[in-house]
Chain A
């Protein structure tokens, strides 16, 4: 991993169009400003990781698990076979 030292108000460039700026430093907390193009989503790592785990957990579900959901006439998509 590349490690760079930065002071407040200094920035780094990632590629041509992503700018990460150290906005504030207080104790053990650093506030970062991130300028990135619209098509590059920016998220806190722990949020992203939690969603990744949740997606993988979701892939373990079985059709029988949906029985508690009750009956409903709310078709989405084409009818599944079986």
Chain B
């Protein structure tokens, strides 16, 4: 199917590219079908909504920015995925732009089940910040600079 996106023009989305979030995102419950698009030359990607093509969220892999990052999530948060094998998951954090710059939401990351191509937004039960400042390059980039 073809969708007219806000940032990337018209893109063709194959059913096999979709990630389905059965519960949507928090506050965006009706947005269930998404496709991940890599951002060329940036340590980020885009969660492009298929249901509402004008919506695209920037996401990062928090482990790239904070290698020590450990997110604590209650198992029932992952129930929608029916996960048995936690090696099959990818965790990404949503990036937001605020007046002081970019932040990553480590309180409510996105969990992807790569095998079944399902996803959900979870709420961590530790002290993870909702707005972790993101004004740093990932360590891999700093080393090569």
What would be 12 A-B contacts, judged by CB atoms less than 8 Å apart? A47-B123, A50-B107, A54-B96, A55-B108, A57-B98, A60-B97, A66-B95, A68-B102, A69-B102, A71-B42, A72-B64, A78-B17
Instruction: List the 3 closest pairs (A to B, CB-CB), nearest first.
Output: A77-B36, A52-B27, A80-B37
Interface status of B44 (Cβ within 8 A of chain A): yes
A51 to B41, CA, bound (A): 29
- With known contacts A55-B27, A66-B42, A81-B8, A74–B61 Cβ distance under 8 A: yes
Minimal beta-carbon separation of B11 from chain A (angstroms): 6
B contact residues, total (Cβ < 8 Å): 59
For A15, the chain B residues whose CB sits under 8 A away are none
Interface status of B115 (Cβ within 8 A of chain A): no
Besides A51-B123, A61-B56, A69-B42, 6 new A-B residue pairs in contact (Cβ under 8 A), listed by A number: A40-B76, A54-B130, A55-B94, A67-B42, A72-B141, A82-B8
CB-based contact B141/A71 at 8 Å: yes
CB-based contact A58/B96 at 8 Å: yes
For B11, the chain A residues whose CB sits under 8 A away are 80-81
A contact residues, total (Cβ < 8 Å): 38
A73 to B38, CA, bound (A): 10
- With known contacts A60-B97, A63-B7, A69-B42, A48–B123 Cβ distance under 8 A: yes
A57 to B75, CA, bound (A): 27
User: Which residues of A pack against B, CB within 8 Å?
Assistant: 38-41, 43, 47-48, 50-63, 65-72, 74-82
State which residues 25-73 of B face A: CB under 8 Å.
25-28, 35-46, 48, 55-61, 64
CB-based contact A65/B138 at 8 Å: no
- Annotate B1-21 by CB proximity to A: 1 below 8 A, 0 otherwise: 000000111010000010000
Closest A residue to B80 by beta carbon equals A39
A41 to B92, CA, bound (A): 20
Minimal beta-carbon separation of B5 from chain A (angstroms): 9
